[in-house]
């Protein structure tokens, strides 16, 4: 099986093959920085917020070791999840985790570059695609979104939860934001998306924008990024070397878009046809 599509994916693969054990030691099976103290609260929030429904056929694009997919399969009736990761280390762990929970009928793991989903799954295969802090690894976002458009059924939904570069009207602050984002990108093999250009790419392929929002969780449930700071300090990956000139560099957002059911220009205003 050809898992790799481009050089960046190869570097991301190496990064996760090398570091997954470290991530799991600190994060557990859910490798997400923005989370709740009790991670299942965040996963159940995700189900509601993303609108993952019983009976859906979904693609988990960048599935880690299938921590989220397993929770969804255990809590959403008749869901069918194809879950892909670029890392063979994660793929093998995901296979074992799924088998241990006896969820082989609900989740199919794939060792696959998410840029290649269209050739792997064909057109109009999924009711929904979700990216949970995985979209930003792509350095070919147009190619990736194009592929998502192809594999989504008409009326299907794309959900992206990720970190996006903050913007400032202060030149010095923006310079620091840019510098810190570059450091994070290098440390994590990431390409922190810019919100406006991401929305432009998503809309340019024809997806309808439904929602842009910060994750709406209670402040007393919020984990406050402690785990990701611990990870950085323990393993010296993206470590913050001084707070004097530190500027918080990112915002977390959830994006929800739908693929229109009817592409005829005369019907393009009938948004409710695609009610998420
Ligand atoms: C921060 S982890 C998030 C994992 C998972 N969504 C979770 O919540 O536990 C990023 C994931 O994106 C995956 N990923 C990054 N680039 C990828 C690519 N080109 N194709 C498939 N998966 C990719 C990595 O393998 C990793 O599993």
CB atoms within 10 A of CB 54: 9
What is the chain's mean pLDDT, rounded? 93
By percentage, how much of the chain surpasses pLDDT 90?
A: 83
Ligand 1 center to residue 216 CA distance, Å? Answer: 23
In the chain, the number of structural domains is 1
Residues with C-beta less than 6 Å from any ligand 1 atom: 9, 12, 16, 30-32, 62-64, 67-68, 84-87, 90, 113-115, 132-134, 137
Give me 40's structure tokens.
């299942």
Domain for residue 20, yes or no? yes
| pLDDT given at position 274 | 65
> Domain residues for 29?
7-240+249-274
pLDDT bucket at 5, cuts 50 / 70 / 90? low
What is the mean predicted confidence (pLDDT) over 96-103? Answer: 98
CATH code (residue 185): 3.40.50.150
- Give pTM, 2 decimals: 0.96
Q: What are 25-59's pLDDT values in tens digits?
A: 999 999 999 999 999 999 999 999 999 999 999 99
Q: What are 51-79's pLDDT values in tens digits?
A: 999 999 999 999 999 999 999 999 999 99
pLDDT bucket at 242, cuts 50 / 70 / 90? confident
**Cα angle at 10 between 58 and 80, to 5 degrees?**
10
Domain for residue 2, yes or no? no
End-to-end, the C-alpha distance of the chain in Å comes to: 34
């Amino acid at each position: 099986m050809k898992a790799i599509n481009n050089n960046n994916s190869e570097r991301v693969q190496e990064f996760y093959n090398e570091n997954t054990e470290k991530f799991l030691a600190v994060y557990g099976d859910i490798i997400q920085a923005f989370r709740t103290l009790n991670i299942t609260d965040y996963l159940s929030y995700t189900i509601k917020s993303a609108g993952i429904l019983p009976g859906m056929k979904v693609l988990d694009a960048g599935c880690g070791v299938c921590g989220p997919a397993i929770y969804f399969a255990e809590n959403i009736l008749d869901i069918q999840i194809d879950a892909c990761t670029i890392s063979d280390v994660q793929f093998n762990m995901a296979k074992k985790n799924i088998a241990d929970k006896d969820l082989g009928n609900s989740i199919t793991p794939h060792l696959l570059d998410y840029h290649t989903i269209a050739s792997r799954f064909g057109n109009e295969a999924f009711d929904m695609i979700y990216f949970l802090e995985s979209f930003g690894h792509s350095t070919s976002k147009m190619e990736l979104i194009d592929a998502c458009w192809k594999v989504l059924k008409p009326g299907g939904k794309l959900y992206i939860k990720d970190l996006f570069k903050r913007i400032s009207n202060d030149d010095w602050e923006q310079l620091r934001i840019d510098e810190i984002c570059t450091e994070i990108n290098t440390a994590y093999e990431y390409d922190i998306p810019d919100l406006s250009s991401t929305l432009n790419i998503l809309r340019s392929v024809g997806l309808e924008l439904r929602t842009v929002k910060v994750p709406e969780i209670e402040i007393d449930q919020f984990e406050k990024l402690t785990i990701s700071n611990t990870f950085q300090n323990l393993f010296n990956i993206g470590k913050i070397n001084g707070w004097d000139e530190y500027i918080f560099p990112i915002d977390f957002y959830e994006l929800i878009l739908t693929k229109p059911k009817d592409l005829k220009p005369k019907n393009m205003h009938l948004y409710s046809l695609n009610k998420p």
